Amino acid sequence: MKNYFDEYVERRGTDSRKWSKVGMEEMAEYIDDESIPLWVADMDFKAPKIVIEKLKERALEGVFGYNIPDASYYESIRYWNEKRKGFFVEPNWVISTTGVVPALNFAIKAYTEKGDGVIIQSPVYPPFKNSIINNGREVLDSRLIFDGETYHMNFEDLEEKAKNPKTKLMIMCSPHNPVGRVWTKEELEKVADICVKNKVILVADEIHSDLILFNNKFTTIGNISEEILNSSIICTSPSKTFNLAGLRVANIIIPNEKLREKFLNKIIEIGEKPIPNLFGAVGVEAAYSEEGEEWLEELIKYLEENFKIFKEFIEKNIPEIKICKLEGTYLPWIDFRGYNLVLRDLKNKLEKDAKLVVDNGEIFGNIGAGFVRINIACHRSILMETLKRLEKTFKRK
């Protein structure tokens, strides 16, 4: 299985958003044929063989008409959540969407009115803030606290913002992107208590919940308490775990019937249908299987080794760069503040000198200034070349 991840997959010229010049231009001003993309959360590995085989089988049927998922689709979701998270999901709790970001927008529209407040915790995935602003709601930013190595929630501030009568919704990233935290059960219990006490609906983005590293333990918000289960929207998808983002499928878990009905009505109101893409449905069933789980366990080992190599090299050769603790995801959060560079100068060094395309910290909120998010879900040769370029560019003489 390890050789499966050691296989180099050439992605240039394959309409890859990550590897194409057009895609890289979203984040970088200076790109050429030598630029290495380390930005969008897109792995460079082939999907599990079971997924590829099942997609081939479906394609060979040759008819691609309207589809509707059958019982086996929902059984695969039940199986995966129960096996991996100890979380039992009833089939009727699940609503399919084309992705988690559309689901965030549906939730904002369904559960809030214009001018209402929505809590986020920056630095955080940019669509959280953008979805709130684009829908005419107010962003209430309860910033995370950085202790020099990792991040923590500011529960005092979170409670103050939840008490605000205008606050109707909180969007939580769990595990957190970009800071790599896997929230503990105790932390999640505090979030749940605050939300329940103040009647704030919680949207939990758990898209990275299968990518838990170094024996950390993930707890779904659905297992915290009956009260928070009844007032939560849990966003899941195989897209990050198995690199299936192009199949456009997410499964939104809403146990509360009234909340589920409001969510469904909003989807229908804007002309969408709560049905997964034909190939997305095939991908879900194939990935959420024993074969998919075996592949995932090997992937986690490969990602852990990539991070160890990355961290040890930086600490030994470029100690001015600080690596935040990575508990989950494949997206290390890197602190470049020791160089005292403004954004323009840091971008120039990374893009022009090192020829690396990364996510600069400011896109995750002002609190991310001086930080960079790097994608290490790549072939080890790409990782080593990245490290060589960082050393050449940032090592002080």
pLDDT, tens only, 139-171: 999 999 999 999 999 999 999 999 999 999 999
Question: Is pLDDT of 2 > 60?
Answer: no
- Whole-angstrom distance, CA of residue 210 vs CA of residue 374: 19
Residues 258-291: pLDDT tens digits?
999 999 999 999 888 899 999 999 999 999 999 9
Burial (Cβ within 10 Å: 0-12, 13-18, ≥19) of residue 198: middle
Q: Residues of the chain with pLDDT > 70: what percent?
A: 99
Percentage of the chain lying above the pLDDT 90 cut: 97
DSSP 8-77: ----TTTT-TTTSHHHHTTT-SS--TT-EE--SS--SSPPPHHHHHHHHHHHHH---------HHHHHHH
Q: How far is CA 154 from CA 102, 140, 147, 209, 217, in A?
A: 28, 13, 12, 22, 21
Alpha-carbon distance 295 to 335, whole Å? Answer: 32
Q: Tokens 């950085």 — which residue?
A: 146
Residues 281 and 67: their CA atoms lie apart, in Å, by 9
The total of other beta-carbon atoms located within 10 Å of residue 381's CB is: 10
**Mean pLDDT score of the chain:** 96
Residue 1 has pLDDT above 60, yes or no: no
Closest Cα partner for 255 from 283, 285, 225? 225
pLDDT at 4 over 90: no
- 178 pLDDT tier (thresholds 50, 70, 90): very high
How much is the average pLDDT of 239-244?
97
Q: Which residues contact 18 (CB under 8 A, 6 or more apart)?
A: 11, 24, 37, 39, 40, 42, 44
pLDDT recorded at residue 3: 63
Predicted pLDDT of residue 397: 73
| Identity of the amino acid at 308 | K
Give the pLDDT confidence score for residue 258 in this predicted structure.
Answer: 98
pTM of the model: 0.96
Count Cα neighbours of 247 within 13 Å in the Cβ-side half-sphere: 28
The pLDDT of 176-198, averaged and rounded, is 98
